[in-house]
Amino acid sequence: MDRISLPTFGTLMISLTLPILLICTVTYLKTLYRFHVSIRKLSNRRGEPVTFQSPPLIPYAIPGLGSTLSFSNQTVGSFWGYLRKQASRYHQDAFSVVIAGKLTHFIFSPSGVASVFKSRHLTRASLDRQLGVNALGMSTLDSFIAFPDNPAENSSVTTERLHSEHLLSSAAVNLLTTKFMETFTTHLDAEDGLDDGIQVNLYEWLWPRIFRASTTALVGETLLDMYPDFEHDYRTWEDNLLALLFGTPRFFVRHAYRARDACVEKLSNWLLAISHRRATNEKSDTHDPDWTPEEGARIMRKRHVLYAERRLSVHAQAGWDLVFLAGIVSNATPAAGWLLLHILSPTSAPEFRPRIMEEVQACQRADGSLDVLALTRAPRLNAAFHEVLRLYVDLIVVREVGSSGAVGVHKVGRGDQVMAPTWMTHRDPKLFEDPDTFNPDRFLTMDEETGKIGYSATGRTGAYFPFGGGHYMCPGRVFAKQEVLGTVAVLLLNFQIDFVEFVKMEKGNWKMAGVNEFPGIKKGFAGGQVVGIEGDMRVHIKRRGSKLS
């Protein structure tokens, strides 16, 4: 009998690879054909009455995966650059892509983005639940309790109402800003080395100081007293938030899951300590203070009442507090960093820093204190703040289609995703001249009669939306602005800060960079909001006079 020959390893690989290649090739050719058919239909209808049609579907080769790998590119702006080229080539203002098996419509014309904000059949509940489970460690049941489809039907008080009354109101914002400034300046006063002057990497030095002041203003002093190392777990979690949100397996980002679990555990213990204090407090005190060292601002206590009403587990309450804290503090810190880097950089226009200094000095009262409300009206400082948000915000407004219909002129189906990315409009040369250049003057205005300089970020509906828009606009936006401007003003007024050199991280150590190597954008997933800072600026910082407190 003849011996049966076994296939070699190479033969097996070929037999497995060829069918996969064939499937990918056929998939790509089919989607490429449909793409061009869709483009042709849209081109032929120009000038005719508006008819609703789904945006052209970007061709892809791998079934189910679609454009997931391209979208997951860690070079911030890479995917948006690709979409912009396609938009320019085919004269489109929206595209559809398949991401992890889900049909997603990217809409990036100002009118289309405005329609996303106004649409009544778009929701965020399912994405919030995904955030709850993946990034906050909630159980599936708790995620539905925390983020119901129809919150008004499940609770007498909504988070939106609480935020409106206790976070966006002038009294609430002023309280948070006052506590932030008090804590920030107290920490600076405690640093004796600043009297003689020290050299620091500016953003590396700044981050923990802003974080501690912001956290104290929002949740009080007790959390950081209980866990002085909380900021380290938090920063690791924050840096990996999108990786967790997208469900990256634990094997690949163990440190992110460890940080998430540590943050939630510490917040859980803090909540239990607060609860125990309430239970053992014999006083029947009906007074509702603006802020307490144990629980922070009133908004936190009101949210905790809401948690109890919904009967959330302590673990889920801690997760929800974690993301609320992130929404208030995470974007303000890099925004302050970017703004200071540009003000202090030798690569900026020579007149930029002196003009900013002139404005912040005008906002200083006779007793040396800052008029923060005056800061929010300073034209050049505010123009620079908005230019930072235009240039460095990579926000994706994400909604799920609750019922089939249209968003603007774009047809969408139930269960589809709709995304409106800031990068596509904020860096569109048709909307912002020379869009990749930091130029605060684009937000300046001039009164023709008086010649007085002002600033304006309005009149750009759908083109400029760093805080999102519509029903889900960021509730911490007013405090964040005052936080950033207050940080910058305190440092510029009270410290002599001199540029030394740009630095970059190489193999775990800071190395000198070129004199013109302004820090770049840190790698990360698309949609990270205010993008991280890659590199830093070495500065010499010295206290100008007496301490601040």
Q: Residues annotated as binding site for heme?
A: 474
Enumerate the H helices of 220-331 as residue ranges.
222-226, 230-239, 241-245, 254-280, 298-310, 314-329
Query: What is the helix, strand, coil percentage profile of the chain, to 5?
Result: 50, 15, 35
Q: Which two tokens mark 424?
A: 């596509």
For the chain, the first-to-last Cα distance in angstroms comes to: 98
Give φ, ψ of 199 to 5 degrees.
Answer: -100, 130
- Which CB contacts under 8 angstroms, 24+ apart, belong to 374-377? 375/482, 375/485, 375/486, 375/489, 376/481, 376/482, 376/485
CA dihedral 520, 523, 528, 532 (to 10 degrees): -40
Q: Residue 483 in contact with residue 180, Cβ under 8 Å?
A: yes
Other CB atoms within 10 A of residue 352 CB: 18
134's enclosing H/E stretch is helix 125-134
Strands (E), 402-519: 405-407, 410-412, 417-421, 444-446, 453-455, 495-506, 509-512
Q: Which two tokens mark 486?
A: 């207050």
Other CB atoms within 10 A of residue 215 CB: 22
The Cα-based distances of 465 to 2, 188, 422, 470 in angstroms read 75, 33, 7, 10
Residue ranges for the known binding site are 474
Q: Which two tokens mark 313?
A: 């587990």
